[in-house]
């Protein structure tokens, strides 16, 4: 009887402890995160080669980050039926528009839409911005009209929020397009360049987007264990400015808050994780970012901008040089160097290679 009473008390106390831990445990990622995979619709277009190669220069197919982006959403539990991924030959202008409208029409009230494009972007003489579909350049086929994206969303999408990320020349035109309308859908737009600026052919923009969604420690700028939409935007702006010398653009409308949580961040093992630096490797200086650290060995793991992850390496602190940012007071006169695109690139975008 005594042993039975002890066992009963032990079991009761264990149950109370379990209940206490359940009630006092920190919120899970699913509770924290501002998006639900089951309520998310994904539309990704990746064009790295084109039908008219004399107009649009192709990019290498290796290490495609657009494919990684699709894989991320699949791994997070977004149903395959809610993901549309068009790449290269699949991404004709007609198929993009038809597939986009079809996906939008299947969403439900309160759902989230994620749209992503990578490839060439160009402006017409009239100032209209297009994303180059695979068949852009055919007679009467200019591509995917940037202004048509929010128009289609407002017409067919029954959800409430749309997050659009564009990695191409003149992609900032999207921000102008969404901010001049006041529809029922709330938008978040993040672009690799401004409306009047070309964009490099590196994966820097998309790599930063992926890192934030994956909760990488080096994207957690304030080290609070969470990565928000606004935090991602700030990180992208810093990356694009330092690594690519271009201005990324971000804007939200309606009730799409910049404080929306994208992911729970990995633990940051050192305060310098996330720092953008110059790194000396094999006698040359390269732009990189500290993505991990081992203070005991005085070593830092570096990711080099414009290079694949396979080139990440551990380096000694003495091989790292901090960047120096020059700031000018408002109202001060400064000399500005501005690149001018040649007429041939005004249509096709930057003819550079992705490494």
CATH 3.40.50.1460 fits 29-264, yes or no: yes
CB atoms within 10 A of CB 151: 13
Place of tokens 């209940």: 19
% residues pLDDT > 90 (the chain): 75
> What's the mean pLDDT in 163-187?
93
Dihedral of the alpha carbons of 350, 352, 354, 355, in degrees to the nearest 10: -150
**Interval 248-272: pLDDT, tens:** 999 999 999 999 999 999 999 999 9
* Residues carrying CATH 3.40.50.1460, the chain: 29-264
Distance CA 36, CA 53 (A): 40
pLDDT of residue 347: 34
pLDDT of residue 352: 35
pLDDT of residue 332: 75
Q: Contact, 262 vs 212, CB < 8 A?
A: yes
DSSP assignment of 194-260 equals: -TT----SSSHHHHHHHHHHHT-GGG-TT-SSEEEHHHHHHHHHHHIIIII----EEEE-TT--TT-
Give the helix ranges, DSSP H, for 270-320. none
Does 137 have pLDDT greater than 70? yes
Q: Residue 278 forms beta bridges with which residues?
A: 287, 321
Does 131 have pLDDT greater than 70? yes
Does 87 have pLDDT greater than 60? yes
Helix (H) or strand (E) holding 72: helix 65-75
pLDDT of residue 3: 38
Q: Residue 128 forms beta bridges with which residues?
A: none
Does 164 have pLDDT greater than 60? yes
Q: Are strands 284-294 and 276-281 parallel, antiparallel or unpaired?
A: antiparallel
Does 21 have pLDDT greater than 50? no
The token pair at 20 is 């206490």
pLDDT of residue 324: 72
- Please indicate whether residue 249 or residue 346 has the higher confidence score (pLDDT): 249
- With bands split at pLDDT 50, 70 and 90, how would you rate the model's confidence at 286? very high
- Please indicate whether residue 50 or residue 24 has the higher confidence score (pLDDT): 50
pLDDT of residue 271: 94
pLDDT of residue 327: 64
> What's the mean pLDDT in 323-329?
69
> What's the mean pLDDT in 174-197?
93
pLDDT of residue 343: 30
Does 8 have pLDDT greater than 50? no
Highest mean pLDDT among 22-26, 44-48, 54-58, 318-322: 44-48
* Residues carrying CATH 2.30.30.140, the chain: 276-322
CATH 2.30.30.140 fits 276-322, yes or no: yes
Q: Are strands 40-46 and 83-87 parallel, antiparallel or unpaired?
A: parallel
pLDDT of residue 91: 98
Number of residues that this document lists for the chain: 355
- With bands split at pLDDT 50, 70 and 90, how would you rate the model's confidence at 325? low
pLDDT of residue 11: 43
Mean pLDDT of the chain: 87
**Interval 189-219: pLDDT, tens:** 999 999 999 998 899 999 999 999 999 999 9
% residues pLDDT > 70 (the chain): 83
Does 312 have pLDDT greater than 80? yes
């Amino acid at each position: 009887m005594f042993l039975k009473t002890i066992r009963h008390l032990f079991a009761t106390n264990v149950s109370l402890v379990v209940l206490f831990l359940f009630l006092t445990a920190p919120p899970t990622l699913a509770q924290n995160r501002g998006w639900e995979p089951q309520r998310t619709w994904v539309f990704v277009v990746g064009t790295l080669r084109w039908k008219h190669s004399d107009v649009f220069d192709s990019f290498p197919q290796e290490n495609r980050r657009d494919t990684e982006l699709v894989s991320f959403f699949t791994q997070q539990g977004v149903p395959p039926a809610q993901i549309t991924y068009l790449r290269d030959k699949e991404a004709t202008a007609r198929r993009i528009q038809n597939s986009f409208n079809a996906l939008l029409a299947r969403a439900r009230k309160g759902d989230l839409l994620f749209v992503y494009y990578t490839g060439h972007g160009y402006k017409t003489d009239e100032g209209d911005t297009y994303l180059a579909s695979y068949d852009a350049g055919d007679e009467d086929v200019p591509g995917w009209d940037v202004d048509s994206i929010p128009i289609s969303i407002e017409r067919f999408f029954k959800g409430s929020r749309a997050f659009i990320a564009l990695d191409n020349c003149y992609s900032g035109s999207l921000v102008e397009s969404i901010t001049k309308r006041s529809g029922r859908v709330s938008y978040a737009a993040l672009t690799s360049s401004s409306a009047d600026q070309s964009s490099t052919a590196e994966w820097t923009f998309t790599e930063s987007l992926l890192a934030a969604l994956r909760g990488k420690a080096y994207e957690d700028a304030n080290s609070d264990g969470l990565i928000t939409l606004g935090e991602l935007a700030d990180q992208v702006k810093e990356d694009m400015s330092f690594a690519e010398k271009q201005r990324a653009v971000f804007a939200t409308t309606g009730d799409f808050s910049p404080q929306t949580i994208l992911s729970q961040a990995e633990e940051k093992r050192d305060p310098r994780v996330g720092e953008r630096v110059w790194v000396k490797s094999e006698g040359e200086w390269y732009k990189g970012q500290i993505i991990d650290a081992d203070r005991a060995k005085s070593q830092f793991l570096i990711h080099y901008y414009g290079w694949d992850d396979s080139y990440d390496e551990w380096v000694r602190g003495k091989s790292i040089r901090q960047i120096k940012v020059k700031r000018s007071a408002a109202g001060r006169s400064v000399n500005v160097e501005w690149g001018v695109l040649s007429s041939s690139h005004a249509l096709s975008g930057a003819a550079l290679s992705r490494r």
